[in-house]
């Protein structure tokens, strides 16, 4: 029985390397009781089967890697991820009601221009607007519901650092005819694009 199992293991190690490897191990362990069991063939089946199994595993890993790298599905996903990151890092302006601002604001090396919109139902009078690190805008601005006003700020420092930048906005205002001063806060995010 040992010699026939060794021969089978040797032959199968070329056709089905994993099966030849397992049968070679079994033939080697069973054959120790029998003098004429084909020890050389069992060892050859283990070596050949083991080597071919390792080669197949390496080839499967390389093939899977190449497939995943060239797959149109992944290319589309990477494009979608790129677009999502671009949207995430585009200019955005968020201010608490009764204000909103347009995302197409302009940012220069040390200046910011923002367009504020009165989203409330009443006319407003802005007494001051401040942006981190920039001069405070303190002229009184009055505008009705739905109207917009553009405001510019000179900043004390270069604000276009590489990457994503963030500035906090504070708006002090009152409703027309009211003496109660209210404050609204917001944030602007912008990405500095450098020309190389």
Mention every residue, 6+ apart, whose C-beta is less than 8 A from residue 57.
none
pLDDT of residue 109: 75
Q: Which fold has domain 90-192?
A: Immunoglobulin-like (2.60.40)
- Comparing 164 with 39, which gets the higher pLDDT? 39
Please give the backbone phi and psi of residue 43, each rounded to the nearest 5 degrees, phi first. -65, -40
| DSSP-derived 3-state class of residue 185 | strand
- Token pair in block for residue 71: 């797959």
Please give the backbone phi and psi of residue 123, each rounded to the nearest 5 degrees, phi first. -70, 145
pLDDT of residue 158: 65
Tell which residue, 150, 157, 116, 117, has the closest CA to residue 135.
157
Per the prediction, the chain carries an average pLDDT of 80
pLDDT over 90 (residue 90):
no
- Give Cα separations from 140 to 24, 44, 111, 152, 167 (angstroms): 92, 93, 20, 14, 22
Evaluate if pTM is beyond 0.85.
no
Torsion-angle region of residue 19: left (phi > 0), alpha (psi -120 to 50) or beta?
alpha
In this predicted model, what pLDDT tens digit does every residue of 33-48 receive, in sequence order? 666 667 888 889 899 9
Task: Report yes or no: 157 and 117 within 8 Å, Cβ to Cβ.
Answer: no
pLDDT of residue 123: 92
Rounded Cα distance between 170 and 130, Å, is 5
């Amino acid at each position: 029985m040992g010699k026939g199992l060794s021969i089978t293991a040797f032959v199968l190690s070329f056709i089905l390397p994993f099966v030849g490897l397992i049968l070679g191990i079994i033939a080697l362990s069973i054959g120790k009781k029998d003098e004429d069991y084909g020890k050389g063939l069992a060892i050859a089946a283990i070596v050949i089967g083991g080597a071919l199994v390792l080669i197949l595993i390496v080839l499967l890993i390389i093939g899977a890697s190449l497939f995943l790298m060239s797959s149109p599905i992944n290319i589309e996903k990477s494009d979608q991820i790129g677009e999502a990151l671009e949207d995430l890092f585009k200019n955005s302006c968020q201010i608490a009601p009764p204000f909103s601002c347009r995302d197409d604001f302009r940012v220069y090396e040390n200046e910011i221009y923002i367009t504020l919109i009165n989203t409330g139902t009443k006319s407003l009078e802005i007494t001051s607007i401040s942006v981190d690190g920039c001069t405070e805008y303190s002229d009184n601005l009055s505008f009705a519901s739905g109207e917009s006003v553009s405001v510019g700020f000179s900043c004390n420092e270069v604000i276009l650092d590489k990457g994503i930048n963030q500035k906090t906005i504070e708006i002090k205002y009152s409703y027309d005819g009211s003496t109660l001063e209210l404050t609204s806060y917001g944030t602007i995010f912008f990405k500095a694009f450098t020309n190389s």
